[in-house]
């Protein structure tokens, strides 16, 4: 079915969202409430926080990554020693000139 201009259901960043994907199913399950009416994602967050307080290092790391964001990871190079890439050599090899 082709999309028409102005269609509000168009996902401009890619394909239309699919509720049946694994991430969609997990999000849907996390929104569900347990028998006491508390959303499951809130229960999971509490359990993660409790594990972190009890000293579980993996839980502490996950908790901090979720709350403060992951630390910036340097992938190499700096002002004194930059990463150099020979683009010409790569293109020559890709197009068979060498």
pLDDT digits (tens, 9 = 90+) for 48-90: 999 999 999 999 999 999 888 887 777 766 777 777 777 777 7
Domain count, the chain: 1
Residue numbers of the domain that contains 51:
37-67
Query: Is the per-residue pLDDT at 46 higher than 60?
Result: yes
Task: Region of 24 please: left (phi>0), alpha (psi -120 to 50) or beta.
Answer: alpha
On whether residue 44 sits in a domain, the answer given is yes
Answer yes or no: pTM beyond 0.75. Answer: no
- Cα distance between residue 76 and residue 46, in whole Å: 37
On whether residue 22 sits in a domain, the answer given is no
């Amino acid at each position: 079915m082709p999309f028409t201009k102005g269609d509000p259901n168009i996902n401009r960043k890619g394909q239309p969202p699919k509720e049946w994907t694994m991430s969609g199913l997990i999000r849907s399950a996390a929104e569900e409430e347990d028998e006491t009416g508390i959303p499951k994602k809130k229960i999971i967050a509490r359990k993660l926080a409790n594990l972190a307080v009890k000293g579980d290092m993996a839980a502490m790391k996950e908790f901090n990554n979720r709350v403060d964001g992951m630390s910036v990871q340097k992938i190499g190079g700096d002002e004194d020693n930059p990463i150099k890439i020979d683009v010409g050599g790569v293109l020559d090899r890709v197009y068979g000139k060498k």
